[in-house]
Amino acid sequence: MVAMVLNLEVADYDEWKKLFDSDPGGRKGIATGHTVSRNVENPNDVFIRTEYRSVEDAKKVRQQLLDSGALNNSTVKTPPTIIETADQATY
C-alpha cells in the first residue's frame, strides 16, 4: 500500500476541516481513502494519511496540494511524505 502522510498544527481544527473537506489538493479523484487523526492533548495537532493505488498517484496529489497553497496557513510539522507499508499486523 502507498500513502501520503503529513502532520500539521492548525489554528482552529473546525475551520481547517472545512478547508480539508473542500479538497484543495484534488485527492478525492485519485486517492482511495483517508484518515484524519488528532492529538488528544492538542486537538489542533492534526495527522493526515491518504492512501493511493500507486506512488505516481500519491506524487501527483502531493504536488497539487503543494501548488494549491492549502498548507500556507498551517504550521507544517511533517511535510507531505509518500510512504509504502513495510510491515503490518493486526492484534
pLDDT in tens, the chain (91 residues): 899 999 999 999 999 999 999 999 999 999 999 999 999 999 999 999 999 999 999 999 999 999 999 999 999 999 999 999 999 999 9
Cell numbers 500539521: residue: 8
Residue 80 lies in a domain: yes
Residue 90 lies in a domain: no
Q: What is the CATH number of the domain that holds 63?
A: 3.30.70.100
**This prediction's pTM:** 0.92
CA 15 → CA 19, 28, 38, 44, distances in Å? 7, 19, 14, 10
How many domains is the chain partitioned into structurally?
A: 1
pLDDT score of 70: 94
Residue 76 lies in a domain: yes
Residue 20 lies in a domain: yes
DSSP 88: -
> What range defines the domain where residue 39 resides?
2-84
pLDDT score of 49: 98
Residue 89 lies in a domain: no
pLDDT score of 78: 98
Residue 66 lies in a domain: yes
